[in-house]
Amino acid sequence: MFRNAAELVDLAESKQLSISEIMLLQEVEETGRKRQAVYGDMDEKLAIMEEAVERGSKEDIRSVSGLTGGDSLKLEQYIAEGKGLSGDTMLHAVSRAMATNEVNAAMGTICATPTAGSAGVVPGVLFSLRDRLDPSREDMVRYLLTSGAFGLVVANNASISGAAGGCQAEVGSAAGMAAAATVEMAGGTPAQSAQAMAITLKNMLGLVCDPVAGLVEVPCVKRNAAGASTAMVSADMALAGIESRIPCDEVIDAMYRIGETMPTALKETAQGGLAATPTGRELETKIFNIPLERS
């Protein structure tokens, strides 16, 4: 039914349907499954996301490596004290994004959205919006469908893999997906969802994938936090009528081309960036008990 963002928006507008409905119809058409079966699968994923958010934001979870854990809980306590400068909705999105990735780093169950390393952004934003917009369960499932529609567009035309395109392809894509879905949940148009995706992704172009010790922990957890905040701001901009000067599909194509020219050392190999800093190498040595090489 659609391959790129322009086709997705055109379909939604011409049929006078939401993007989430277009995505649901496409899944039914491509898989041959019943509508309710597709919906049920998304509802199950929503439950897994909710469990990860709840666990990560209420328990002092620590990863086996010791690199990450406890930051979501710290931020939740900070919010409760009324000290936040960014507003509770924004900070809850950040906290819950970190919560999900801390659960992932501790070998818990999460949903890859679109990858495990970027799994916090979509649920982090969603469960923050639950407090702000009071959506129904169906609204929340539709949020995931809209996220999936834009994730599919990126997967079809660029990459959602850090090894192929850097972290722009993982957290960048996740943030764009969350921004687009937020717009629909808040009552925006399909075109505004695409604008939110474009605005978000433009501001994450070139983001490298440089996991310390090769683990999906540092800087991944906090990058999900930043992705969630970028998604929220971009959604607000799109809902305000602000448009990206570069169309969504061209932004996605730019991301693909940037990923193609990005050095291998900055694409999930742990050979460059933060992974190659003195502290990064020391942490790697400590975790794996390997000789520390110095140039």
- Residue from 231, 256, 271 nearest 113 by CA: 231
pLDDT of residue 168: 98
**Count of domains forming the chain:** 1
pLDDT of residue 293: 53
pLDDT of residue 295: 40
Evaluate whether residue 14 is within a structural domain.
yes
Evaluate whether residue 24 is within a structural domain.
yes
Distance, CA of 93 to CA of 201 (rounded, Å): 18
Burial 150-165 (b: 16+ CB within 10 A, else e): bbbbbeeebbbbbebb
**Residue 34, domain CATH:** 1.10.4100
pLDDT of residue 290: 66
- Residue from 239, 115, 260 nearest 189 by CA: 239
pLDDT of residue 130: 97
pLDDT of residue 294: 46
Q: Sign of torsion, CA 262 150 214 228?
A: positive
The parent domain of residue 133 ranges over 5-288
Distance, CA of 142 to CA of 163 (rounded, Å): 29
Evaluate whether residue 295 is within a structural domain.
no
Evaluate whether residue 294 is within a structural domain.
no
pLDDT of residue 21: 98
Evaluate whether residue 86 is within a structural domain.
yes
pTM: predicted TM-score of the whole model, two decimal places: 0.96
Q: What is the pLDDT along the chain (295 residues), one digit of tens a residue?
A: 899 999 999 999 999 999 999 999 999 999 999 999 999 999 999 999 999 999 999 999 999 999 999 999 999 999 999 999 999 999 999 999 999 999 999 999 999 999 999 999 999 999 999 999 999 999 999 999 999 999 999 999 999 999 999 999 999 999 999 999 999 999 999 999 999 999 999 999 999 999 999 999 999 999 999 999 999 999 999 999 999 999 999 999 999 999 999 999 999 999 999 999 999 999 999 999 865 554 4
Q: Which amino acid is at 55?
A: R
Evaluate whether residue 17 is within a structural domain.
yes
The DSSP bridge partners found for residue 267 are: 209
Evaluate whether residue 293 is within a structural domain.
no
